[in-house]
Structure 1
Amino acid sequence: MNDVLHKLPAFLGNHLALAALFVLILLGLIVTEVMLKLRKYKTLTPAGLTLLINREQPLLIDLSARADYEKAHLPGVRHVLPSQFDPEHKDLAKAKELPVVLIDRDGRGLDKPAQRLIKAGFSRVYVLEGGTLAWQQAQLPVAKGGK
């Protein structure tokens, strides 16, 4: 170990670009982890969502495109087109104390809608990690077609 520490300055001097790239990647990982810890909503796995559904009655909102929603969606979910999503809507405002779970096809486009819900005063906001695809991969039931 002592030998490695003596050779480290020479290695870093000879491989400056590699060392700089390592530092950038490390900083990127740290910033990403800090941002994940500071966000005000939580992510749920399909198993975690199942527990939440069994223990409470969360409001499930699917923000998938219409075609994706018709192919497969969770039973009991309310479909809202992303362009029509409004946390201030009177029907949605009644559910501020309920857990609200946002879902889409793959779970990637839900950061902004979740932040909008939090800004509108919703205290328990969740996002289904992996979306409907993760739900299907866990072999949980899905519905097809329109409402």
Structure 2
Amino acid sequence: MEFIQQHWYWAALAAVSGTLLIVTSVRGSRGISPARATQLINRDDAVVIDVRDAGEYAAGHLLNAQHIPLGELEKRLGELDKLKDKPVILNCQSGNRSASACDILRKAGFTQVHNLEGGIAAWEQAGMPVSRNKKKK
């Protein structure tokens, strides 16, 4: 107890870092990096689903990404049934909407769902290619 009183800042730091470790473990990781996503696409034929709005998608998207806006995802799950046991990478602009999409797919029984950490912004920052072609279904 004397140590804690004399070094309260170390005790506080240990408490904060321990809390962050527990929260991270419970929530899981935020997603996969662009490099890891590229490996999944190239090695495991992962399917990329872009959950952004049409205008965002048209401005640039990952090569061969399917476009299903987040608001339509639940009603279009039937289109994705064949992917339930395959790697699926979801992306949006920053990773927030795609994190919600990951939850929807997991609840629907998808087993290999990944969120592109940082979204297309991180993808482009990593120097990865972006397509500006018309939407692919």
TM-score by length of 2: 0.80
Describe the SS at the equivalent of 1:132. helix
2:81 pairs with 86, 93, 100, which one?
Answer: 93
Structure with max Cα Rg = 1
Describe the SS at the equivalent of 1:112. helix
Number of matched residues? Answer: 135
1:111 positional shift: 2.6
Is the contact made by 1:99 and 1:125 (CA closer than 8 Å) also made in structure 2? yes
1:9 aligns with 5
> Which ranges in structure 2 are unaligned for 5 or more consecutive residues?
none
Q: CA RMSD in A?
A: 2.8
1:81 aligns with 69
1:34 aligns with 25
For 1:104, the aligned partner's letter is C
Identity of aligned residues (%): 29
TM-score by length of 1: 0.75
1:15 aligns with none
Detail structure 1 runs of 4+ shifted over 4 Å in the superposition: 5-8, 18-24
Is the contact made by 1:88 and 1:120 (CA closer than 8 Å) also made in structure 2? no
Describe the SS at the equivalent of 1:86. helix
TM-aligned CA distance change 1:133 to 1:112, over 3 Å:
same
Describe the SS at the equivalent of 1:9. helix
Question: How big is each residue's C-alpha offset from its partner over 1:32-63, in whole Å with a ceiling of 9 and x where there is no partner?
Answer: 222234x7xx7221111111111121111001
